[in-house]
Structure 1
Amino acid sequence: MPNRPYTYYDLTLSICSVCLRKVEAKIIFENGNVYMVKTCMKHGREKVLISNDIEYYKWCRDFIKPSEMPHQWNTPIKYGCPYDCGLCPDHEQHSCLTLLEITERCNLKCPICYAESSPHKGTYRSMEEIEFMLDAIVANEKEPDIIQISGGEPTIHPHFFDILDLVKTRPVKHIMVNTNGLRIANDKEFVKRLATYLPGFEIYLQFDSFNGDALKELRGVDLTHIRRKAIEHLNEYNISTTLVVTLKKGLNDHEVGDIIRFGTKQKCVRGVTLQPIQSAGRLEDFNPETDRLTLSEVRKMIIEQSQIFGEKDIVPVPCHPDSLAMGYAFKQEESITPLTGMIDPAILLEGDRNTIVFEQDENIRQMIFKLFSLNHSPDSSALSLKDLLCCLPKVNLPGYIGYDNVFRVIIMQFQDAHNFDIRSVKKSCVHIAHPDGRIIPFDTYNLFYRDVLEKELIKIREEILVTR
């Protein structure tokens, strides 16, 4: 009997990339790649590359852990995922990181922007609106792990520091500011004031390329001098910083290693986050069939280009292994030592302090034990990698190992209408606070719930009710 040219691996639900209606989707292995194959009765068949590494795709299933719930649900289950977001009781992960968007305006008009921000779009949210959204986050999380102040460009909000002060009054463990760096580069007094919010404060700095032409394609303007000046100011005040790279295939993906090595040499930089473009919002000169990057492709770039991280050092993040991968390293003045690969994969989710390290060097064993432990007491509980493999490590230790010494690389791949997997999106842990109090996964917010997009969602919901 003739065989099909692929191996059928699994079945999931997706959406049609044209009409956003729910469809069945096969997961298949073919020629060393993982594809999603789906058919919409109206718009036809789609075949989407979702991984170029079959073994890594299967390995992700070993990192699934019991779901952590928010303290309350915001919307009922009525239309089915992904049409009930808010969070509904069918969602399988609380908010590891919640974006608090304080304005729709920006001082740039980037050709690629999931929020479609610009100098002429929208308004600044009032303090009353922001407080309402903030309280919604706290109601869900009690003690939110990370709130990321975002936009638009949040630093241009006329009440920016009042907003930071407001967030500081809530039991938030860590505050991030998502910024293009223009104000940080051009206003040193602004940076000096930012430093007063340390510790528990971090800059999430747009840092896509060292090449002016690539920046023009992604951001509409050559920002190389802005990036240099921003890093100079952040280094001066040692403000914890994550470099955030929007990756486009064939444009800046060859710079992954250079950016990581650059980050390890900066006093202020705690890590690099690599984000393949999500096909949502404003997308100029972007073809989703040719310009997309998968998480596994980016993972291989880190391993091949960085000269720091090996095959065992970049692992799936347990809260959302399909979309997040992470590696840790220990940063010293003259060296950087990858750590994740020294952890026995068999006990990553167990936290057994006696077997957590299989590296035989006693100095490194003690270093990692300190890093992954709450304190030095023999009776203390150890932090397992399930605690550390999140958006930020929980490091607050005496001695020379602290947050300044921990360097992390994160791959954060947001799903869009092409690679959308309902099975996976239920585990999304990066969320956006909606102005009406809902807390919505980043993946679905930019497809269904941002601005006028919800009008189309209303049509889909009406169709669902009619067919029942």
Structure 2
Amino acid sequence: MPDKVRPYLFLELTNSICAHCHRKVEAKIVAEENRVYMLKHCMQHGRQKVLISTDLEYYRRSRTFIKPGEMPLKWNTPIRYGCPYDCGLCPDHEQHSCLSLIEITDRCNLECPICYAESSPHRLSYRPLEQIESMLDAVVANEGEPDVVQISGGEPTLHPRFFEILDAAKARPIKHLMVNTNGIRISQDRAFVERLASYMPGFEIYLQFDSFDRDTLMELRGADLREVRRRALEHLNEFNLSTTLVVTLKKGRNDKEIGDILNYAVRQRAVRGVTFQPIQEAGRTEDFDSGENRLTLSEVRQGILDQTDLFAPDDLLPVPCHPDCLAMGYALKLGDEVIPLTGLIPPETLLEGTRSTIVFEQDPEIKNRLFSLFSTAHSPDSSALSLKQLLCCLPLLQVPEPISYDNVFRVIIMKFMDAHDLDIRSVKKSCVHIVHPDGRIIPFDTYNLFYRDGKEEELERLREERMPPWERING
């Protein structure tokens, strides 16, 4: 019997990049006790160990929540250097754009210490309307009818042609349009919010909402935004303008407020849910943290379970299009009552179908189980409105007529990879993409690493290293 045993359980092999020089390296995924790590070695910078998950059981379960990739209508770049150096999308990518971000300005009225885009009041550029329309057309060309397009920045509400941009987006076959905002203008200008509300339905505000604590907001955003958030939600509630609260989480700072934010959110008339995003080490946050100090998706999920009674473990499931980095829980708000939905749906149902994320009309038993919670006066066949229209990633399921988007409450955990934990196997499944000004469609994870601002200069160096010697000579 050998007397030497590895201190870990080897789970799988993938590729990653060195956290320092960004060269592509081989990586092991291993389990130690209940935790999952990535182990990689760079010839120049040595061994690197990165925490991936604090919940081995959930990590393994996420590997079973995978469905065939849903392709875009067209590809934008060829395969030449290999992932992640060909983003655009290239034909080797495994998932279309569930959510496409279009950044319309680098200018912002804040200078957040955690900004991945390094936006600030000192950056004065606004994208021309014609270029933004071209970017919108690129998304439509790829998707046909894009699921979600998010107008972002910088702070997009500062753009001098902001409403013309919204008009251009609404003129295209986009199912759901969002505006990603810090809420300052919304808090100051009631008439602005009233005009925003005129873009409903199929329109939503993605409102930055990180903390109730002044010191935390100063650390994350560089400003005490408590009153801004209060006034913004007052205006959004007045017009019942569909809103998602977006919480950027930093370990040891605001991760103890997960439950407080969720319990607050369900009491807001306009709020349809909360998205939790652990900090991605990009932009101003590069090298702020690493190793054991990283906040993983599993920790956020456990925080939701520990800090609030809204969801049980089976209500917070991996999202099949990208289960490594996305988790979801859906519920209905009925007065003061919140009824979780996700745990009532058999997990295998989430994996059925190809082009449609979920197909579930065929299961009358589950229909009737859900309907017994909603109403005694309606049958599953009595309504023309479906949850598929209300909730992305949930089954097509008829609901009673009184139920509307106002009754939706969803929780999303959205973990973006960075140079420390980039998993090439996983990034190929990324479905949250940023539109490059030239029309390429690039995964959020790799865009902030390689394609933002002047970072493609470094990318060219990495590409050249991977180029076959005969091509270097000829090129």
Short-chain TM bin: over 0.9
Deviates more, 1:167-176 or 1:285-294: 285-294
- CA change 1:396–1:125 in 2 (3 A) is farther
What is aligned with 2:227? 225
What displacement does 1:401 show? 1.3
- Please point out which of 117, 120, 123 is paired with 1:118: 120
Do residues 28 (structure 1) and 37 (structure 2) align?
no
Return the letter of the residue paired with 1:165: D
Identity, % of aligned positions: 63
- CA change 1:186–1:291 in 2 (3 A) is farther
What is aligned with 1:5? 7
What displacement does 1:332 show? 1.4
Do residues 100 (structure 1) and 90 (structure 2) align?
no
- CA change 1:220–1:46 in 2 (3 A) is same
- Please point out which of 144, 147, 150 is paired with 1:148: 150
What displacement does 1:344 show? 1.9
Give the alignment of 1:394-433 within 5 angstroms: 399-433=401-435
What displacement does 1:46 show? 0.4
What is aligned with 2:63? 61
Question: Does the Cα contact within 8 Å between 2:39 and 2:47 map onto a contact in 1?
Answer: yes
What displacement does 1:334 show? 1.5
Gaps of at least 5 residues in structure 1 are none
Cα distance between partner residues in 2 of 1:171 and 1:149:
15
**SS of alignment partner, residue 62 of structure 1:** coil
Question: Does the Cα contact within 8 Å between 1:16 and 1:418 map onto a contact in 2?
Answer: yes
- CA change 1:203–1:310 in 2 (3 A) is same
Superposed CA offset, 1:305-324 (max 9, x none): 12111111100001000000
Superposed CA offset, 1:135-170 (max 9, x none): 111111111111100000000000100100111111
Cα distance between partner residues in 1 of 2:396 and 2:132:
27
What is aligned with 2:465? 463
- Please point out which of 341, 344, 360 is paired with 2:343: 341
What is aligned with 1:436? 438
Question: Does the Cα contact within 8 Å between 1:326 and 1:389 map onto a contact in 2?
Answer: no
Cα distance between partner residues in 2 of 1:382 and 1:193:
28
Return the letter of the residue paired with 1:211: D
Cα distance between partner residues in 1 of 2:196 and 2:241:
8
Cα distance between partner residues in 2 of 1:405 and 1:197:
19
- CA change 1:396–1:106 in 2 (3 A) is farther
Question: Does the Cα contact within 8 Å between 2:85 and 2:463 map onto a contact in 1?
Answer: yes
What is aligned with 1:198? 200
| Cα RMSD (Å) | 2.4
Do residues 241 (structure 1) and 250 (structure 2) align?
no
Cα distance between partner residues in 2 of 1:431 and 1:291:
26
What is aligned with 2:372? 363
Give the alignment of 1:60-99 within 5 angstroms: 60-99=62-101
**SS of alignment partner, residue 314 of structure 2:** coil
Cα distance between partner residues in 2 of 1:176 and 1:393:
22
Cα distance between partner residues in 1 of 2:468 and 2:10:
34
Return the letter of the residue paired with 1:192: E
**SS of alignment partner, residue 274 of structure 2:** strand
What displacement does 1:286 show? 2.8
**SS of alignment partner, residue 257 of structure 1:** helix
Question: Does the Cα contact within 8 Å between 2:382 and 2:400 map onto a contact in 1?
Answer: no
Cα distance between partner residues in 2 of 1:129 and 1:111:
29
- CA change 1:121–1:256 in 2 (3 A) is same
What TM-score comes out, normalization by structure 2 length? 0.92
What displacement does 1:354 show? 2.7
Question: Does the Cα contact within 8 Å between 2:320 and 2:350 map onto a contact in 1?
Answer: no
Cα distance between partner residues in 2 of 1:335 and 1:147:
31
Cα distance between partner residues in 2 of 1:346 and 1:103:
42
What displacement does 1:393 show? 8.4
Question: Does the Cα contact within 8 Å between 1:344 and 1:355 map onto a contact in 2?
Answer: no
Superposed CA offset, 1:416-449 (max 9, x none): 0101000000000000110111010000000000
What is aligned with 1:320? 322
Superposed CA offset, 1:352-395 (max 9, x none): 5336639968612779x98xx8x648xx998789x9553x8878
Cα distance between partner residues in 1 of 2:175 and 2:294:
34
What displacement does 1:63 show? 1.1
What displacement does 1:287 show? 1.9
Return the letter of the residue paired with 1:421: D
- CA change 1:313–1:121 in 2 (3 A) is same
What displacement does 1:403 show? 1.0
